[in-house]
Amino acid sequence: MLHRAADNGSLMMLKIGDLTLHSPIMLSPMAGVSDLPFRMINRRFGCGLAFAEMISARALTYRNSNTLKMLSTHPTDRPLGLQLLGNDPKIMQRALDILCDYEFDVLDINAACPVSKVTKRGEGSAMLREPRKLFEVLKAVVAHSRLPVTVNCKLIYPARFPSSHQ
């Protein structure tokens, strides 16, 4: 929810669950880019909410060392969001169990990534072709998460990407 200043219409704050952001500047999760040093540089320039790199729920449940490194943070790296990628409610819940050991403020579910290595597994934007499955994933995540949950999605599924059952 955005609140506007009464006097000039400029953005004052954004509220996500109980988290209030006083800067409208956000850093998106970018694979291979939004690591801890990059986030800290952006915070010096007023970044109000930063996201770590997109994390695969499946890789997290395997405790993949590269995936665990992407969870690196620092006490001044706040507020911090985590974007989780996956299409299986049980795996998403197992990933959330692992994430209880880490400090994040917002959980975002990726239903937008159009990259073929993601969509061919039925993840990312491919989930928009299976709205019931997306609903089941979201229902499981919201029920299991201690954090406010958001969803990153596209309004229209790109036709050039095959569905997960093609």
Catalytic residue numbers?
113
Contacts made by residues 154-160, CB under 8 angstroms, sequence distance 24+: 154/111, 154/112, 154/114, 154/125, 154/128, 157/125, 157/126, 157/128, 157/129, 158/114, 158/125
Q: Which residue has the tokens 């949950």?
A: 149
The CA distance from 139 to 117, in Å, is 25
Kindly report the backbone phi and psi dihedral angles of residue 78, in degrees, each rounded to the nearest multiple of 5, phi listed first: -140, 150
The CA distance from 80 to 100, in Å, is 14
